[in-house]
A and B are shown apart, each in its own frame.
Chain A
Amino acid sequence: MTMKVVRKTGSMPYSPRINQFTQTFWQRLAEGELCSTRCLSCHRLSFPPRQFCPGCGHRHSEWVALSAAGTLYATTTVHAAPGQFMEQTPYTLAIVDLDDGVRLLTRLQHNDESAVPDTRVALLVEQYDDGCLFVAEPEHEGEDSIG
């Protein structure tokens, strides 16, 4: 599933570091694909991608594409934020359980009071000048634009 890519002006308030291993994740995200690693020994799926399997300790994994669809587990709207994020307040953080079985932290693209726990969401890509992030939106918001 190709994720919708939304262009944002400026830089990310707090940029993730990228290394030789994680650059695969960020490059594929910029192309509209969410991915992570699966252990070649016990087949445990991890998120974020890892060089060691937390399940069995195996050192070898493969990259796999993930579904960008999932369900909201919980949200919180942040009104008092670290300095880099103050201009963005209030913003809503979300824990999303992807249909592929992994849990991740992200943001709702827009504050949305109807986005209660168990709401279906889709992830999309926010493309900044210095990189990209994945954010969530309730499925009803983006039904027409997510391929």
Chain B
Amino acid sequence: MNVAERVAIVSASATPVGRLTPRDDRLWDGFDHDVLGGVVLDALGQIGIANHQIGSVVFTAPPPPTRQLGFATFMCAQLGLRPNAQLAQVQEMGITGGLAFDQAASDILLGRADYALALGVAIQSQGDATQAMDHSLRVVGDVDFQSPFGMTPIAWYAFDMCRYLHETGVKREDIAAVACKSRQWSASNPLAQFREPLSLEQVLSQPPVVAPLGRLDVPARADGAICLVLCTERRAQALGVPYVVVSGRGFASEGFHQIGDHPHDMTAFPAATAATRRALGEAGKTLDQLDLAELYAPCTITEVLVSEACGFFGRGEGAIAAREGRTAPGGDTPINTSGGCLARGHPPSLTALYGLLELREQLLGLAGDRQINAAECGLHVCELGNYNAALSHIVERPA
């Protein structure tokens, strides 16, 4: 075991986020495995790696509409992958992509694999939305004591918003500003689901979904497919290709399944605070050394709360910061430069992998018109439930 090594993201490939299947009766170009297969071959081809060199393959579990079960082994057979360290499929709500990355990274750190893939595909936008929510009813809350009331996943975030507005005196329009600035970032992201500008009036005039959250405060359904290739920093240097490294990692859980059974501050996201502190500590960094942050935030209010929990802003100041443009292009605290869940798009199991991809692009100077000047260090945070657990990574461009 060689724990002194750092993990490098040495290659990556992804489809745009959005609908990847035809809207009419035409035959699909390919099924889930075909889409992901192309992405994997692209990622391996960029660095001249062959399938037999991959020792660890960690998939995000495919979403409920996926017909092919046993997806991980099926997919490996499609690609001729014969991993000798690990072949797994991981899943736990929104943190799923982060877990796939973390598990693949562990195999590199432990010396079990020369190369590891963190990957997944989600084709779900063609299905019936109500059907998808029926499934989610069993994920959110306690199926016997909470689900019978008609919970939905984003209802947690709506509770947060209700309480936050009540306690801080922040205005609804301050929080809606997050949706607008997300489009400012995504305008130049070719992977983004939505790139058109959005006005505050447009956000505020939408019908409610889970009031006080309206249709543009919450993510649209989306497909995607992504593959990150990991190896040690030493191996990445030997390959002679551009790479970024993971210099810090932190995980924390507050021990609740969405809401606790005793009163607690639901809007404080203490797991995000603790996980980010640990990651920064491991990297030997402070918040003010970060050039950008990709924060898993399915709704406008979520980005506000996690930006406060990580320490970028004080209590009640996250929404004001978004309204004042501090997290937008040109701002002093760039957050979710990909456009985040609301604009880049949100296939939930893959969102963390897309967030890590955005850090890689920014740190390698590949982000086009949304590029943060001379970005050297970024934070990624993903979560499960109502940020009941969080996983943070510090990603850096090597000196």
In the complex, the answer to whether B262 meets A74 with C-beta atoms within 8 Å is no
Q: Which of the 9-residue segments A56-64, A104-112, A138-146 touches chain B?
A: A104-112
- Let me know if A75 and B209 touch, CB within 8 A: no
Task: Note all chain B residues with C-beta closer than 8 A to A77.
Answer: 208, 210-211
Decide if A105 touches B136 in the complex (CB within 8 Å).
Answer: no
Tell me if A97 is interfacial: C-beta within 8 Å of chain B: yes
B294 at the interface (CB under 8 A from A): no
Q: For the complex formed, measure the closest distance between the CB of A52 and the CB atoms of chain B, giving whole angstroms.
A: 13
Given A95-B159, A106-B149, is A84 in contact with B134 using a C-beta cutoff of 8 Å?
yes
Cβ contact of A74, chosen from B148, B149, B150, B159, cutoff 8 A = B159
A48-B142, A103-B263 known; A88 vs B166 contact (CB < 8 Å): no
- CB-CB under 8 A from A14, the residues of chain B are 137, 147-148, 150
CB proximity of A91 to chain B, nearest CB, Å: 6
Chain A: CB-nearest residue to B211: A77
Contact of A82 among B133, B145, B161 (CB under 8 A): B133
* B260 close to A (CB within 8 Å): yes
Alpha-carbon distance between A84 and B262 when the two chains are bound, in angstroms: 29
Q: Mark A37-57, 1 if CB is under 8 A from B, else 0.
A: 000000001111000001000
Task: Say yes or no for B366: interface residue by CB 8 A criterion.
Answer: no
The answer to the question of A1 belonging to the interface, with a C-beta cut-off of 8 Å to chain B, is no
Contacts of A80 in B (CB 8 A): 129, 133, 152, 209-210
Specify which of B209, B213, B260 is in contact with A103 (CB 8 Å cutoff).
B260
Q: How far apart are the CA atoms of A101 and B263 in the complex, in Å? A: 7
Closest to B132 in A: A82
B133, A16: Cβ atoms closer than 8 Å: no
B264 to chain A, nearest CB (A): 8
Q: Is there contact, CB below 8 Å, between A78 and B152? A: yes
Q: Is the CB of B150 within 8 A of A81?
A: yes
**Contact bitstring B157-191, A, C-beta under 8 A = 1, else 0:** 01111110011000000000000000000000000
Majority SS at the chain B contact face? mixed
The interface centre, meaning the residue of A75, A102, A116 with most chain B CB atoms within 10 A of its CB, is A75
CB of B211 within 8 A of CB of A79, answer yes
A46–B261 CB distance below 8 A: yes
Partner of A107, one of B149, B161, B211: B149
Q: A74-B159, A76-B159, A97-B263 are in contact. Are A16 and B211 (CB under 8 A)?
A: no
User: Is there a chain A Cβ closer than 8 Å to B130's Cβ?
Assistant: yes
Q: Which of B136, B150, B151, B161 has the most CB of A within 10 A?
A: B150
The answer to whether B212 and A76 have CB atoms under 8 Å apart is: yes
Contacts A93-B155, A101-B263; A12 near B133 (Cβ below 8 A): no
Closest-by-CB residue of B relative to A47 is B261
B190-217: CB near A (< 8 Å → 1, else 0) gives 0000000000000000011111110000
CB distance from B202 to the nearest CB of A (A): 18
With A76-B211, A79-B208, A86-B130 in contact, is A117–B163 under 8 Å at CB?
yes
Residue count of chain B within 8 Å CB distance of chain A: 43
- Residues of A in contact with B, size category: 35 or more
Q: Assuming the A-B contacts A74-B162, A74-B266, A81-B133, are A105 and B141 also in contact, with contact meaning beta carbons closer than 8 angstroms in the complex?
A: yes
Q: Tell me the complex Cα distance, A102–B263, Å.
A: 7
Q: Is B255 interfacial (CB-CB < 8 Å)?
A: yes
On chain A, the residues within 8 Å of B159 by CB distance are: 73-76, 93, 95
Q: Are B152 and A82 in contact (CB under 8 A)?
A: yes
A22, CB-defined interface residue at 8 Å: yes
When distances are taken between beta carbons in the complex, the residues of chain A under 8 Å from B46 are none
Q: Are A93 and B211 in touch, CB under 8 angstroms?
A: no
- Inside 8 A of A102's CB, which chain B residues have their CB? 261-262
Residue contact A103 to B261, C-beta cutoff 8 Å:
yes
Q: How far is the CB of A135 from chain B (nearest CB, A)?
A: 8
In this assembly, does A15 line the interface, its C-beta being within 8 Å of a C-beta of chain B? yes
Contact in complex: B150, A93 (CB < 8 Å): yes
Instruction: Say yes or no: is B241 at the interface (Cβ < 8 Å to chain A).
Output: no
28 residue pairs A–B, Cβ–Cβ below 8 Å: A12-B148, A13-B148, A14-B137, A17-B143, A45-B262, A46-B261, A47-B261, A74-B162, A74-B166, A76-B161, A76-B162, A76-B210, A76-B211, A79-B209, A80-B129, A82-B150, A93-B149, A93-B159, A95-B259, A101-B262, A103-B261, A103-B262, A103-B264, A104-B145, A105-B146, A105-B151, A117-B162, A133-B149
Q: Which 7 A-B pairs have the closest CB atoms?
A: A76-B158, A85-B150, A48-B145, A16-B144, A82-B133, A74-B159, A77-B211
Q: A73-B159, A73-B263 are in contact. List 4 more A-B contacts (CB 8 A).
A: A14-B150, A74-B266, A76-B161, A103-B262
